[in-house]
Amino acid sequence: MAFDPERAAIRFGCGLAPDIAPPRSATEMLDRLAEPDTAAHRFPVPAIDTVLHGLVEIARLSRTARAASGSAERDAARDSRKARLRAMRLEAGGWFRHALLRRITTNDGFRERLVSFWGDHFTAHGKGPARHLSYLPYLEDAIRPHVTERFADMLKAVITHPVLLRYLDQPRSAGPSSRAARRRGGPGLNENLAREVLELHTLGVGASYTPRDVRALATLFTGLSIAPDRGFVFRENLAEPGQITVLNRVYGGKSPSLRHVFQALEDLAAHPATALHLARKLARHFVSDTPDPALISALQARYIETDGTLSALYESLLDHPSAWRPEAGNVKQPFDFMASALRALGLMPEDLPTDPGRLRRLLHTPLGLMGQPFGQPRAPDGWPEADADWITPQGMAARLNWAMTVPTALADRLPDPRVFAATALGSRIPEPVRFAAAAAETRADGVALVLSAPAFQRM
């Protein structure tokens, strides 16, 4: 089994499209990754600073409302706060639209998939008023620029990103002997970030580390914090001074420093357990719920050989015969499904609604109904990978409901279902799908049947 253009677009890209040729070779896919990120340039999403500035303004308006002497003043401040928050949510809706448009129009689909994969590996989203605002700027800052670099680089970028720090309760964590903790009523240690870094981001929960390692890493992480207006800061007054031993290695020195944290992250990234954990995840996500052990070993070996260089890891993935197994692959997650459906329909940027109400009703809410509220996984371990976690009765019903109603609401004119079957599925159209596309009562039903078929729902 070897490279196949249609399979490459479906399994490792954003799907087939009427006017975008699938990649011709694995080399072409890897070359595109090395070229400039045109999709991000064409459909921009801002850095987190934009969100932070908005939140500072919102916090100021909250304080004004609380301190107001009269009810008129208070109401005015509250109204401005509400209006500001609303404006930010509308803006974030535009970023969501851009995330879809990148997938719909790109010829570098592997990049979009990798951004989602690593974004899920390092799951984080905003809290409080920022809950629905921060996910995409976080990916843009901490994930996207690093998808082809060393894993350690991405790890350092996320661990110094305000969204992940806040999500995992790090900003106020203080070392027991830090200046801050020695004050009366001062803050204490919070283990959450350290635990997830070991369990989810690097070694994996099966690896041999102890509660003492979690605590030690948490102690080493003290000082990683945020400032409301600037984002990441290293606060020396929170940081634990002295030497700290994590997994039998000693870090730190007289005065705390971000350098020590980075050294520990380098060592964690280079750990063989991390190589195995990432190899398993990558194979599982892109190839199969039960990946070929030989593929996992190949990925793990390549990761170790190349000091965790991610582009080399992808090369090894695309080179491996079991990546191209002809059997139906994983079920598309709802965002993959929705974006690939819109792409197969050949929608143009102007077809995607800019009206916030329509955008929400037709695209944002349905993702939640399919079980994947955009950027909001239930917990830091991200979205499930098993097919059966997605194709539940309610998940299936939500996919069908969407396929039946939304394409016809968005497309100027729906394609002939028989033609659409070939556009969406390529040269391998299962006989029942061919039959159903021709036998449907309406174009809308026919398109929905193609989109609902396992041949489209799987990669």
Partner 1 sequence: MTRPSSLTRRGMMLRSFALGCSVSASPLLTPVSFASLPGEGRLVVIILRGGMDGLDVVRPVGDVDFAALRPETDTPGFALDGFFELHPALGGLYPLWRSEELSFAHAVSTPYRDKRSHFDGQDMLETGGGGATPGRTRSGWLNRLVQTIPGATSDIAYAIGRENMLLLTGDAPVSNWSPEAAMSLNPQARRLLELVTHDDPLFREALAEALLLSSAERNDVVGAVSADPNGMMPSDRESRTPRRREAGVQAITRFAADRLRREARIAAFSVSGFDTHVRQTQALPRALSHVQDAILTLRRHLGQIWQHTAVLAMTEFGRTARFNGTGGTDHGTAGVVLMAGGALKGGRVITDWPGLSEADLYARRDLHPTRDLRALAGWVMHDLFGTAPSVITGSVFPAVDLDRNPRLLL
Write out the residues near partner 1 by the rule CB under 8 A.
169, 172-174, 181, 186-192, 195, 199, 205, 211, 214, 328, 331, 368-369, 371, 378-381, 384, 387-389, 391-398, 400-401, 404, 430, 432-433, 435-436, 439-441, 445, 448-449, 452-455, 457-458
- Contact criterion met (CB below 8 Å) for 364 and 152: no
Which residue type sits at 211?
P
Task: In whole angstroms, give the CA distance from residue 60 to residue 330.
Answer: 47
Q: How far is the CB of 149 from partner 1 (least distance, A)?
A: 28
Q: How far is the CB of 230 from partner 1 (least distance, A)?
A: 20
- Contact criterion met (CB below 8 Å) for 261 and 220: yes
Q: Between 15 and 446, name the residue whose CB sits nearer to partner 1.
A: 446
Q: How far is the CB of 171 from partner 1 (least distance, A)?
A: 9
How many other C-beta atoms can be found within 10 angstroms of the C-beta atom of residue 435? 12
Q: Between 60 and 458, name the residue whose CB sits nearer to partner 1.
A: 458
Q: How far is the CB of 76 from partner 1 (least distance, A)?
A: 23
Task: In whole angstroms, give the CA distance from residue 193 to residue 72.
Answer: 43
Q: Between 199 and 315, name the residue whose CB sits nearer to partner 1.
A: 199
Task: In whole angstroms, give the CA distance from residue 192 to residue 318.
Answer: 35
Q: Between 173 and 300, name the residue whose CB sits nearer to partner 1.
A: 173
Task: In whole angstroms, give the CA distance from residue 261 to residue 188.
Answer: 19
Helices (H), 187-292: 192-196, 211-221, 258-270, 272-286
What lies within 8 Å, CB to CB, of 203 at 6+ separation is 209, 268, 271, 273, 274, 277
How many other C-beta atoms can be found within 10 angstroms of the C-beta atom of residue 439? 11
Q: How far is the CB of 327 from partner 1 (least distance, A)?
A: 11
What six digits make up the tokens of 435? 């039959």
How many other C-beta atoms can be found within 10 angstroms of the C-beta atom of residue 400? 15
Q: Between 29 and 216, name the residue whose CB sits nearer to partner 1.
A: 216
Q: How far is the CB of 409 from partner 1 (least distance, A)?
A: 16
Task: In whole angstroms, give the CA distance from residue 67 to residue 425.
Answer: 61
Q: How far is the CB of 298 from partner 1 (least distance, A)?
A: 21
Task: In whole angstroms, give the CA distance from residue 294 to residue 316.
Answer: 12
Residue 325 Rama label (left phi>0; alpha psi -120 to 50; beta): beta
Q: Between 80 and 401, name the residue whose CB sits nearer to partner 1.
A: 401
Q: How far is the CB of 150 from partner 1 (least distance, A)?
A: 27
Q: Between 15 and 417, name the residue whose CB sits nearer to partner 1.
A: 417
Q: Between 192 and 306, name the residue whose CB sits nearer to partner 1.
A: 192
Q: Between 36 and 326, name the residue whose CB sits nearer to partner 1.
A: 326
What lies within 8 Å, CB to CB, of 181 at 6+ separation is 174, 175, 187, 188, 189, 238
Buried b (16+ CB within 10 A) or exposed e, 202-238: bbbeebebeeebbbbbbbbbbbbbbeeeebbbbbbbb
Q: Between 15 and 22, name the residue whose CB sits nearer to partner 1.
A: 15
Query: CA nearest 366: which of 388, 337, 328?
Result: 337
Q: How far is the CB of 72 from partner 1 (least distance, A)?
A: 25
DSSP element (H, E) containing 367? helix 365-369
Q: How far is the CB of 69 from partner 1 (least distance, A)?
A: 26
